[in-house]
Structure 1
Amino acid sequence: MDTELYDFVIVGGGTAGIALAVRLSEVSDQRILVLEAGLDNSDDLRVKTPAFYLALFGTDSDWGFSTVPQGNLDGRNISVNQGKGLGGSSILNAQVYVPPTKAIIDGWAELGNDGWDWDTIGPYYKKAFTLPQIPEESRQPLAIGNWKPEDAKTDGPLKLSFPGNSVHPIRGLWAETFRRKGYLMEGGPWSDASVGAFSNLASVDPVKKERVHSARGYYDPVKHRDNLEILVDAYVNKIILENGQPRPKATGVKYTHEGKPKIAKARKEIIIAAGALKSPGLLELSGIGNVNILKKYGIETIKDLPGVGENLQDHLLCDIRYDAEDQMETLEDIVKQDPKVTAETRQGGLGSLNGLTISSGLLTFAYLPVMDFIAGTGRDSLIKLINENRPPISAEPENVRARKYYDIAEKTLLNPKRPSGAYLTAIGESVVEPDLNPSLSTPSPTDKYLSIITILAQPLSRGTVHIVSNDPADRPEIDPRYLSNPLDMEILARHTAYIESIANSEPLRSALKQPLQRSSPLAEITDLDAAKRYIRSRAISMWHPAGTCSMLPEEAGGVVDASFNVYGVDGLRVVDASVVPLLPPGNLQSTVYAIAERAADVIKGAYGFT
């Protein structure tokens, strides 16, 4: 069996893995190997063209994960699409690039992670990207007001932009609607503001007009480096752990490349960056995890670590599609993959179709509290809900962890300046999937749509992802247990009901057909019970699984410490979304890059690299 020796072996060439590998390769005398199970599809038109990202779902670029039936979502299996290929999920996400809030990152420190407060971690977010230069005449149509992105002095590998038609009216309509409500984020999301509406940036190159993923942004400019090797079509089956004193040590990995079994050895470390749904399984297959699960599948326990595969958290979203006025520019032809439009796009390049193809259609965002809970009887109702659903006091790790999370969620819900929900628009049919109740669909005289989407920003429900056998090829069992915490349904129902308030507020209302025409009668939400029925039939994943190898104290069910080290094993770290102890309110992309940037400095510091 072929064996090669490196300083660091990184399992997973995705968002975090590539960014981390490139940063480590800055130390020229260190040899880095990245093993990616998928292929390099960077030149695929569906990867390059921002509007075509949905066309990648269900292809070889998608792991095609699905949950077990979710009891609180009418027993539906929910798709959790994750990128398989060089760049990972950054090759098929919707490109939305938004920050967390200061309070959420400070919450990571509150959970027991020293050095993970916003003052320390905030700069790592900005290290990953470069904000665009915006001409003065473009600021008003982009609705960025007093926000001057260039003032942030960023100079990272990812070139961000405000893609699509720069004068599309949705940005201005969204901003003015929330300005009248008192919730416009004047300084933009990268300021100190925590709530409000804004035009969102995207990981789309402002010059090339194509998607910027980790391989394009981080790897392409440095692919000449002799000390950085990336293998695609390389599936890792197991971590090699050697008995050491006082603890076992990770020394290599067994993998299959081009159908042949191989071994890669590491002088210093093995770093797992396979994502929230793959990393825990690799640990379990290697003997690190809950001893009862490992025994069930005949796997020798090297380190009993019950937190592996636990604490799965994900953003649920729910949307309502409205008929838009005829003059509204939408992505209907792109979403439907009309053959004529696709052909014209191939001939005309990424800048054709008046900029339609250079955007996923997600141009606006907002971080908001539950408006019903801000004052008066609504606040009294909130306090009652919080007290009714408070976790019991117990010494078991699961309860210790649950109470810590609940304390942070309570602070968020009780503070009107912290968001419990996020909202965004899609200029077209829902980017999520077709109507889940086609028999109830309302015939529409138009083919112009605007979808308003809400996201449960800080879910309390926690699920699991575990292996189902000792065969590395078998898919894991994924059970997010969506809405299993009753408070989640109460919060999401109120945010979903608020979509109607947004749609009925001027000037956004003027862009929609009147009276409002929705995709289904179920979407006509008149009370909270109606909102809950709609959520059960409609809500799906935002594709942001995290937390399955959580950065938490071991006694609270943690898997890695604040330096990404796996508890009880030397020479082994996890660096990807699985370590995220608490989801940010919006899209996860920027946080994964920040984690990789932080990990690079931590690892360099551990070995005295400069």
Structure 2
Amino acid sequence: MAGGWSQNFDCETDWNIVTEPMKSVDNRQVKCSRGRFLGGSSGVNGTLCIRGTKQDYDDWGFDEWSGEKMFGYMKKAETFHGKDWFQATDTVHGTSGPLHTEPHDLAPISNLVKESLIDSGLPYKPDMFSTGETSQGCGDVMRTIHQGIRTTAADFITKGYRSENITILTEVLVDKVLLTQKNGDLTATGVLTKSKDGVEATFNARKEVIVTAGAYCSPAILLRSGLGPKDQLAQHNIECLVDLPGVGQNLQDHVLCFIFYEVNQPGLTNDHLAYHDDALTSSYELYKENKTGFLSTFPFGIFGYARLDERLADSELWRNAPRKEGRDPMGLAPNQPNIEFWNTELYGGPKQYEDFPIDHKYTFALCTLLFNQHSRGSVTLKSSDALQNPVVDHAYLDHPLDMLVLTEACRFANDIVMKGKGTKDVIKGSWPPELRHHEHTKREDWEGYVKKHATTCYHASGTCAMGTVLDSRLRVKGVKGLRVADVSSIPRVNNGHTQMVAYGIGEGAAELIKEDAKAGTGDRARL
């Protein structure tokens, strides 16, 4: 049930990863929830299919992962279901993949926000988040939901795709990859696992071991296996088999701020379906009976991309920052956006927002997300014990340009809401009321807000990156028969959301593995 996503957090279905205190966000720690069940975070994510631009993938600099190829892989994973009102660009959507997608029917507040985005210079281009051809505009976003049912990564190996040559084990933790010297080469020969009740088991590989545990857990597995920075491994008495300084480094995410507003009219938002009286009980019954209603989808509305060149032209930091030819100080070309906006269709977001408007108030947020941050974090081991979560430091907004751009983006978001013709006449004030966003007009007014409220968008990436840890065919350097095939492999997070990237990496990895096996050039095919 897409609407029940947060109920899987802070319990055994969550990895319960929390960052270290981060200096630039008032030394706060941020909860980085991850799904801990079959399908992983695809079962708790926002269901959003925002692919970014083709330039994002061309910037990786690997022929195997060009923008054209990545968009093709993402298309291959999809079965798109249109709606009469939606103007789809059919050529970019798949028709036979396990990933079932459809557009989202907007709540009234989302249509008003859409009007304000257009009024603020972001023209409506319906399927822009699938085509990847727009850096300034607003549009509808496909969701991994069809007929009220969420598609997850598990659907690729269950339901109609169940195969007899796949064995699925749940409640089993991968401790490490088993590595052996063979014919002078360090070779992956299997994995060591631990079950929920502590029983160890070894699984042997006939050809390759493929790690797909995500940006936090994939580097942790490699580190426990003796693959990583030698000095870090020595701290935990782990023998360094291959000194790979990049393992666990280059951690990236999309930093996000929620900005809440109260509206002066009932029925514009969906708060009455969740928080007023006994509404949630009725919504749940409707979902159970028909797979429809408020809980059948994810409560995000219209989305927008924006460039901030003109708004930052008065900033000395922006003007004097180094830049490459044809790129802005964030490293982005004109065909890539600096930021993303979207609105919630009721109060809510990360679980720290708990002051629900139960007394018949109506609220929404305009969310602001930063692209192409300069700051880089890390994932390191707390101990050699696989049952211990890794140490995660996202280093949010450590770079002054990151702080500048997100601060200006929040200022722009507030202008959109308070001045845009769709929303300006329905805003009663900020929520909670003491935030008083409607009085914030200067950039410096917003920096303090950003420090207090910046949070994760759950897009952790880059910690086993191609170029440093992996080659361009996802093979771990210095090891035969071992690949990493998830978003930890990407050198730079895309300017979109990472769900479709994860599926694209999976589809691309499958092609590479088949190519190598057929050509006899796979790491284990020669053995």
Q: Same fold (TM over 0.5)?
A: yes
- Does structure 1 residue 119 correspond to structure 2 residue 68? yes
Which residue does the alignment assign to 2:380?
Answer: 466
Deviates more, 1:598-607 or 1:225-234: 225-234
Which residue does the alignment assign to 2:514?
Answer: 604
Which of 2, 25, 46 matches 1:94?
46
Q: Which blocks of at least 5 consecutive residues in structure 2 are unaligned?
A: 521-527
Instruction: Provide the secondary structure at the position in 2 that maps to 1:230.
Output: coil
Which residue does the alignment assign to 2:337?
Answer: 419
Which residue does the alignment assign to 1:528?
Answer: 443
State the one-letter code of the partner of 2:195: H
Contact map agreement 1:522 1:530 (CA 8 A) in 2: no
Which of 154, 162, 173 matches 1:235?
173
Which of 382, 397, 400 matches 2:318?
382
What is the rounded CA distance, in whole Å, between the counterparts of 2:393 and 2:274 in structure 1? 29
TM-score, normalised relative to structure 2: 0.90
Q: 1:153 to 1:494 in 2, by over 3 A?
A: closer
Residue 151 of structure 1: how far off its partner (Å): 4.4
Instruction: Provide the secondary structure at the position in 2 that maps to 1:148.
Output: coil
Matches within 5 A, 1:184-333: 184-186=123-125, 188-189=127-128, 190-191=130-131, 192-205=133-146, 207=147, 209-216=148-155, 218-223=157-162, 225-257=163-195, 259=197, 260-332=199-271
Which residue does the alignment assign to 2:460?
Answer: 545
Residue 176 of structure 1: how far off its partner (Å): 2.9
Q: 1:184 to 1:434 in 2, by over 3 A?
A: same
Which residue does the alignment assign to 1:76?
Answer: 28
Deviates more, 1:248-257 or 1:498-507: 498-507
- Does structure 1 residue 433 correspond to structure 2 residue 380? no
Contact map agreement 1:372 1:379 (CA 8 A) in 2: no
Residue 492 of structure 1: how far off its partner (Å): 0.6
Residue 431 of structure 1: how far off its partner (Å): 1.2
Contact map agreement 1:100 1:591 (CA 8 A) in 2: no
State the one-letter code of the partner of 2:318: L
What is the rounded CA distance, in whole Å, between the counterparts of 1:408 and 1:212 in structure 2? 39
Matches within 5 A, 1:92-171: 92-109=44-61, 113-135=62-84, 138-139=85-86, 147-155=87-95, 156-163=97-104, 166=105, 168-171=107-110
What is the rounded CA distance, in whole Å, between the counterparts of 1:188 and 1:562 in structure 2? 30
Instruction: Provide the secondary structure at the position in 1 that maps to 2:256.
Output: strand
State the one-letter code of the partner of 1:580: I
Q: Which blocks of at least 5 consecutive residues in structure 1 are unaligned?
A: 1-48, 140-146, 391-405, 553-557
Alpha-carbon RMSD: 2.7
Which of 585, 593, 597 matches 2:495?
585
Q: 1:535 to 1:272 in 2, by over 3 A?
A: same
What is the rounded CA distance, in whole Å, between the counterparts of 1:518 and 1:459 in structure 2? 29
Deviates more, 1:506-515 or 1:423-432: 506-515
Residue 288 of structure 1: how far off its partner (Å): 0.3
Which of 403, 415, 430 matches 1:489?
403
Q: Deviations over 1:465-501 (max 9, x none)?
A: 1112221111211111111111100111100111111
Q: Deviations over 1:162-212 (max 9, x none)?
A: 23xx3633443333333333322425222322331111111111x2x1211
What is the rounded CA distance, in whole Å, between the counterparts of 1:544 and 1:575 in structure 2? 16
Which residue does the alignment assign to 1:41?
Answer: none
Q: Deviations over 1:361-409 (max 9, x none)?
A: 11211111115447xx43776221x23xx8xxxxxxxxxxxxxxx8897
State the identity as a percent: 26
Deviates more, 1:231-240 or 1:415-424: 415-424
Q: 1:516 to 1:64 in 2, by over 3 A?
A: closer
What is the rounded CA distance, in whole Å, between the counterparts of 2:420 and 2:180 in structure 1? 65
Contact map agreement 1:287 1:303 (CA 8 A) in 2: yes
Contact map agreement 1:345 1:353 (CA 8 A) in 2: no
TM-score, normalised relative to structure 1: 0.79
State the one-letter code of the partner of 1:359: T
Contact map agreement 2:116 2:422 (CA 8 A) in 1: yes
Counting matched residue pairs gives 515
State the one-letter code of the partner of 1:169: P
State the one-letter code of the partner of 2:420: E
Residue 345 of structure 1: how far off its partner (Å): 3.8
Which residue does the alignment assign to 2:525?
Answer: none
Q: Deviations over 1:510-558 (max 9, x none)?
A: 5633466664336443322221100111111111111110112xxxxx1
Q: 1:234 to 1:329 in 2, by over 3 A?
A: same
Bigger fraction of residues in helix: 1
Residue 609 of structure 1: how far off its partner (Å): 8.5
Contact map agreement 2:122 2:137 (CA 8 A) in 1: yes
What is the rounded CA distance, in whole Å, between the counterparts of 1:171 and 1:597 in structure 2? 34
Matches within 5 A, 1:382-401: 382-384=318-320, 386-387=321-322
Which residue does the alignment assign to 2:422?
Answer: 508
Contact map agreement 2:300 2:342 (CA 8 A) in 1: yes
Instruction: Provide the secondary structure at the position in 2 that maps to 1:268.
Output: coil
Q: 1:563 to 1:217 in 2, by over 3 A?
A: closer
Residue 603 of structure 1: how far off its partner (Å): 0.6
Residue 234 of structure 1: how far off its partner (Å): 1.2
Q: Deviations over 1:294-346 (max 9, x none)?
A: 1111111110000000001111111210012323343436665x894443344
Q: 1:366 to 1:167 in 2, by over 3 A?
A: closer
State the one-letter code of the partner of 1:83: G
